């Protein structure tokens, strides 16, 4: 178990959020220069984020900049954001990303197929990507909970991901109308609790403030107990959260523009 987070201390929450942050640049117009600027922000005087989450085409450059021994991991996305690519294309994306230096793969499941009742399509996708990215590569499955909507379907998607050996279940791409919510988080955390497996959880999209982080940490404590949250079990997927974390730790007001949705 990790050191418990003092949820009554805003600075303690901010430090924990920093250590669990997947600092994200998945904008449609992202450039290599912007991505490498993000990488430069991943380590600061208060510590480092858990990972940077970036487009596959920038993984090699980020790896070159970070080096082999950086505490910051490189996450990238596949089948993103639509979830509609053929399995062989997603496997190719994954294989290339791992070869380029990705430590973590965030896979969008074929959620439209799941809504249509085709669970096997979801299993086949996760299984193929898991084979292309075996341990120690971390596999996170993006369920797109805001599009699944039905609590029973969110629960079922979570169960399938765990059964197919995902390391994390993640709420969202950040590219749809409804992204991370505490309601979806509760469903997913309860699936993890019932499974008894050492699986992580990642809310993503729309998480902007330390107060948002506190709410998710409190929910994890309620469902999975004191000390469950750590970078190995919990991540935030966000672009704007770092600004509020640093403002909190530096005792200042966040500057304008530090609230991007993802």
Please provide the size of the chain in residues: 262
Residue 82: CA count within 13 A, CB half-sphere: 4
Are 203 and 236 in contact, with CB atoms under 8 Å apart?
yes
Among candidate residues 211, 210, 203, the one with its CA nearest the CA of residue 180: 203
Among candidate residues 107, 158, 157, 156, the one with its CA nearest the CA of residue 131: 107
Neighbours of 164 (CB within 10 A): 19
Whether 69 is a known active-site residue: answer no
Among candidate residues 224, 198, 199, 229, the one with its CA nearest the CA of residue 214: 229
Among 170, 175, 212, 244, the active-site one is 170
Among candidate residues 94, 16, 29, the one with its CA nearest the CA of residue 56: 94
Are 75 and 51 in contact, with CB atoms under 8 Å apart?
yes
Among 22, 100, 103, 106, the active-site one is 106
Measured distance CA(58)–CA(75) in Å, rounded: 11
Are 161 and 143 in contact, with CB atoms under 8 Å apart?
yes
Q: Is 144 helix (H, G, I), strand (E, B) or coil?
A: coil
Whether 22 is a known active-site residue: answer no
What dihedral do alpha carbons 63, 67, 72, 77 form, nearest 10°? Answer: 10
Write out the two tokens for 141.
């499955």
Whether 112 is a known active-site residue: answer no
Write out the two tokens for 90.
């997603």
Among 22, 100, 202, 244, the active-site one is 202
Residues assigned a catalytic role = 106, 170, 202
């Amino acid at each position: 178990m990790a050191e418990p987070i003092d949820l009554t201390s805003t600075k303690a929450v901010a430090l924990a959020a920093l250590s669990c942050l997947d600092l994200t640049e998945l904008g449609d117009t992202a450039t290599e220069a912007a991505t490498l600027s993000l990488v430069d922000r991943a380590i600061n005087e208060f510590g480092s984020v858990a990972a940077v989450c970036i487009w596959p085409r920038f993984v090699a450059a980020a790896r070159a900049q970070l080096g082999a021994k950086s505490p910051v991991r490189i996450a990238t996305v596949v089948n993103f954001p639509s979830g509609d690519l053929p399995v062989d294309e997603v496997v190719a994306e994954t294989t290339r990303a791992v070869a380029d230096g990705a430590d973590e793969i965030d896979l969008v499941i074929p959620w439209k197929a799941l809504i249509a009742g085709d669970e096997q399509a979801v299993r086949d996708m996760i299984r193929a990507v898991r084979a292309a990215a075996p341990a120690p590569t971390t596999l996170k499955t993006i369920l797109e909970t805001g599009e699944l909507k039905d609590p029973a379907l969110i629960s079922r998607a979570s169960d399938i991901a765990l059964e197919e050996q995902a390391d994390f279940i993640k709420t969202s791409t950040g590219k749809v109308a409804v992204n991370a919510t505490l309601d979806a988080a509760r469903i997913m955390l309860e699936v993890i609790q019932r499974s008894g497996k050492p699986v992580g959880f990642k809310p993503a999209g729309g998480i902007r403030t330390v107060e948002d982080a506190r709410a998710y940490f409190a929910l994890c404590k309620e469902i999975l107990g004191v000390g469950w949250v750590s970078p190995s079990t919990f991540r935030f997927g966000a672009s704007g959260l770092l600004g509020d974390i640093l403002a909190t730790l530096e005792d200042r007001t966040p500057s304008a523009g530090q609230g991007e949705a993802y």
